[in-house]
């Protein structure tokens, strides 16, 4: 039996497998993507798998079917996540906003570490724990005026560190 090349296998089965995948997925472009991915994996693994000529067709059909089923499973997980969280799984604007928020928060926390301890405590209690000035004064056993001056000093130092040219 003569060896069959990857090109010959592709030419022989590509259209058939695309039709098969399209019928499963009901999406022509997605079907072509799935079949192409299966062929890439097949060509990369063909030598290692030792697939015989007479089982190539079965192997390819089974691989396409499994890839389509995996696509269905992934889509169900995405749909379930979106319905549970009232948001798309991958939303570029949300991802960008989340990245910016994480970076800004990291910068703020880094700058807070450089504040004197009294200023840092006042900022933490006032802005992160939501206490008002009298509550902060009671918590730290200091006067309300000291709380106000520590806040002003902390904000001045933070502005100086976080705002370029300030």
Q: What is the pTM of this model?
A: 0.46
Question: Measured in whole angstroms, how far is the alpha carbon of residue 41 from the centre of its chain?
Answer: 25
CA distance 21 to 23: 5
What is the reported pLDDT for 165?
67
Shared domain for 81 and 28, answered yes or no, is: yes
Give the separation between CA 93 and CA 8, rounded to whole angstroms: 45
For the stretch 136-154, pLDDT in tens is: 999 999 999 999 999 999 9
Check whether residue 81 and residue 97 sit in a common domain: no
Residue where a domain stops, chosen among 85, 101, 132: 85
Q: Do residues 124 and 158 lie in contact, with contact meaning Cβ atoms separated by under 8 Å?
A: no
Q: Which domain holds residue 66?
A: 6-85
Asked if residue 1 belongs to a domain, the reply is no
Is 12 in the same domain as 31?
A: yes
> Over the stretch 1-47, which tens digit does the pLDDT of each residue have?
457 788 888 888 888 888 888 888 888 999 999 999 999 988 888 76
Number of compact structural domains in the chain: 2
Last residue of a domain, one of 85, 119, 151: 85
| End residue of a domain, out of 62, 85, 108 | 85
pLDDT beyond 50 at 49: yes
Residues 66, 115, single domain; the answer is no
The reply to whether 104 and 156 lie within a common domain is yes
């Amino acid at each position: 039996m003569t060896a069959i090349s990857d090109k010959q296998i592709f030419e022989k089965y590509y259209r058939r497998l695309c039709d098969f995948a399209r019928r499963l997925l009901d999406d022509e472009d997605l079907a072509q993507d799935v079949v192409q991915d299966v062929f890439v994996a097949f060509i990369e693994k063909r030598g290692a798998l030792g697939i015989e000529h007479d089982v190539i067709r079965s192997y390819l059909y089974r691989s396409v079917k499994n890839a389509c089923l995996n696509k269905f499973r992934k889509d169900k997980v995405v749909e379930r996540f979106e319905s549970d969280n009232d948001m798309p799984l991958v939303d570029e604007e949300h991802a960008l906003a989340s990245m910016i928020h994480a970076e800004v928060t990291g910068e703020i926390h880094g700058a807070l570490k450089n504040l004197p301890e009294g200023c840092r405590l006042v900022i933490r209690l006032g802005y992160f724990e939501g206490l008002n000035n009298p509550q902060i004064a009671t918590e730290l056993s200091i006067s309300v005026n000291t709380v106000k001056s520590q806040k002003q000093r902390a904000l001045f130092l933070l502005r100086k560190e976080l705002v370029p040219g300030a």
